[in-house]
Every structure is written in structure tokens, then in C-alpha cells.
A and B are shown apart, each in its own frame.
Chain A
Amino acid sequence: MSTADTPKRSMRTPLGRVRNLGAAHSGTSDFWRQRLTAVAMVLLMIPVIVVIMMLLGRNQAYAKQILGSLPIAIIMVLFIIASAWHMKIGMQVVIEDYVHNEKLKLASIMLNNFFSIAVALASIYAILQLSSGV
């Protein structure tokens, strides 16, 4: 479905087009964040792979030293934030597509938020602990 061949037959109102909003008025924010976090992860992918490669088969002391160093800790935290955000949005889209019972859908979306936030916080906390040497 090319947008290029149907610009003049758009169903969107001129005002809607000017404000760049869809029917939900704020419906494009998750779409944008999904792409934003995707691009962030593509940029971070090589550094993250390098870090993991450095730690292959090494012991905990070495892992602590590497993961706790400031630039690497920042890279890992950024990657975790981008991943958790991206997967939270992605899973919500999947839930909204396949779960049609309203209560079950709300519960699933809530669980999805809890899971994503818990994984992100646990991982970030671990990295901060490695960095501060507590």
C-alpha cells in the first residue's frame, strides 16, 4: 500500500493533517517511540555485542570490572532502557491485536508493563551495583 500514489485521496481532514494527529489525538506517540528505541538499539548493537564477546568465558571478577566501568555501564543502561521500552510497546501491540476480551486485555497490558519495568529496573540496579562496587 503505497502512500505515494494516493496523496490526494487521503481520508484525513486538513486540520488533522496540520496537527499531525490521528483519530486518537495522541495515537502516534507509541509508534514514534517504537522507532526511536529501535534506532537506538541498532546504534548500540555493536558496542553491546563487543562487551558480551569480551566477557565470554571470563570469571565474575572480570565481568564486574568490565560491566562496572563507566562507558560500558552507560552503554548497557541505555540498551536496557531502549529494549524494555521497545518490547513493552511491541507486546502491547500484540496483545491489542489478539486479546479481544476487554478485562483480559487490560490485565495483560498491565502485566506487560509490570514485566517490562521489573526487568529494566532489576538489570539497571545490577549494573549500578557493579559500577559503585557496593
Chain B
Amino acid sequence: MQVYRWTLTMALSIVHRATGIALYVGTLLLAWWLIAAASGPAAYSHVQAFTGSIIGRLIMFGYTWALMHHMLSGIRHFVWDLGYGFKANEREALTWGALIGGIVLTVLIWIIAYAIGGGR
């Protein structure tokens, strides 16, 4: 398929699915965290050791981005479902909005987290 141009909206459609799949797998982390909280201090400290490690923080940062991006990208799909935003410039604006908004929200959440949590 050499005849059509690869567009941003097409790429972001794939990213929407990819982030959705990542979030799907990531619910295991959410379940682990809740089960550990219910199990007791020892189990909970294992979760905290993981989320506090460099790898853990990277995964949590990636997870935050996947969640924020998927949410904004999903809102974009919702706007389309309602029948709006199909003009070329509107499509582009919604797509850039989801892309930039996802990154901005992720950084914002982590700044707040570090500010109140002190990177505990």
C-alpha cells in the first residue's frame, strides 16, 4: 500500500489500541496493590518496594501516560461518535489535543505526586 499517506490520525488510532492493551495488562498491578493492601504490611511493602524502584517508577510513569492518553484519545472518539469533528482541521486539532494533552496531564500528575509525596 504505497498509494496513501500515513496520517497522524491513523497512527494515533493504533496508539489508542496499544495503550488500551497496556492498560489491560496493567490492571494486574492494580489488583496486586489492592490484594497486598488487604493481605497485610509485609505484602504491601513488596508492592511499595516495586513501585519505588527505578523500573517500577518507569512502569508507573508509562502507565500514567497510557491512561491519560487513552482517556483523551477516547474522548476524541466519543466526539466523533456524536457526529462532530470530522473536518480535516478538526480531526487534526482533536488528535494533537489528545497527544499533547496526554503528555501534559502525565507530567502534571507526576509533579503533583512528587510535590505532595516528596518522592517517598
A35 touches B37 (CB 8 A): no
B117 touches A64 (CB 8 A): no
Query: Residues of B within 8 Å of A, CB-based: how many?
Result: 35
CB within 8 Å of B: which A75-130 residues: 76, 80, 83-84, 87, 90-91, 94, 119, 122-123, 125-127, 129-130
In the assembled complex, the Cα of A2 lies from the Cα of B84 at a distance in Å of 8
In the assembled complex, the Cα of A59 lies from the Cα of B52 at a distance in Å of 13
A57 touches B37 (CB 8 A): no
In the assembled complex, the Cα of A42 lies from the Cα of B73 at a distance in Å of 12
Q: In the complex, what residues of B have CB within 8 A of residue A70's CB? A: none
A41 touches B37 (CB 8 A): no
Q: Which of A60, A76, A80 contacts B44 (CB 8 A)?
A: A60
B71 touches A45 (CB 8 A): yes
In the assembled complex, the Cα of A42 lies from the Cα of B48 at a distance in Å of 27
Q: In the complex, what residues of A have CB within 8 A of residue B74's CB? A: 38, 42
Q: How far is the CB of B71 from chain A (nearest CB, A)?
A: 6
A64 touches B34 (CB 8 A): no
Q: In the complex, what residues of B have CB within 8 A of residue A126's CB? A: 31, 34-35, 37-38
In the assembled complex, the Cα of A57 lies from the Cα of B36 at a distance in Å of 14
Dominant SS among interface residues on chain A: helix
Query: Residues of A within 8 Å of B, CB-based: how many?
Result: 37
B34 touches A83 (CB 8 A): no
Most chain A beta carbons < 10 A, residue from B28, B30, B113, B116: B30
A63 touches B30 (CB 8 A): no
In the assembled complex, the Cα of A122 lies from the Cα of B40 at a distance in Å of 16
A64 touches B37 (CB 8 A): yes
Q: In the complex, what residues of A have CB within 8 A of residue B45's CB? A: 60
* 12 residue pairs from A and B, CB less than 8 Å apart: A35-B81, A57-B119, A57-B120, A60-B37, A64-B37, A67-B34, A87-B27, A94-B20, A119-B27, A122-B31, A126-B37, A130-B37
Q: A83-B30, A91-B21 are in contact. List 19 more A-B contacts (CB 8 A).
A: A1-B86, A4-B86, A42-B71, A42-B74, A56-B116, A56-B117, A59-B44, A60-B37, A60-B40, A64-B37, A67-B37, A83-B27, A84-B27, A87-B27, A90-B20, A123-B27, A123-B30, A130-B34, A130-B37
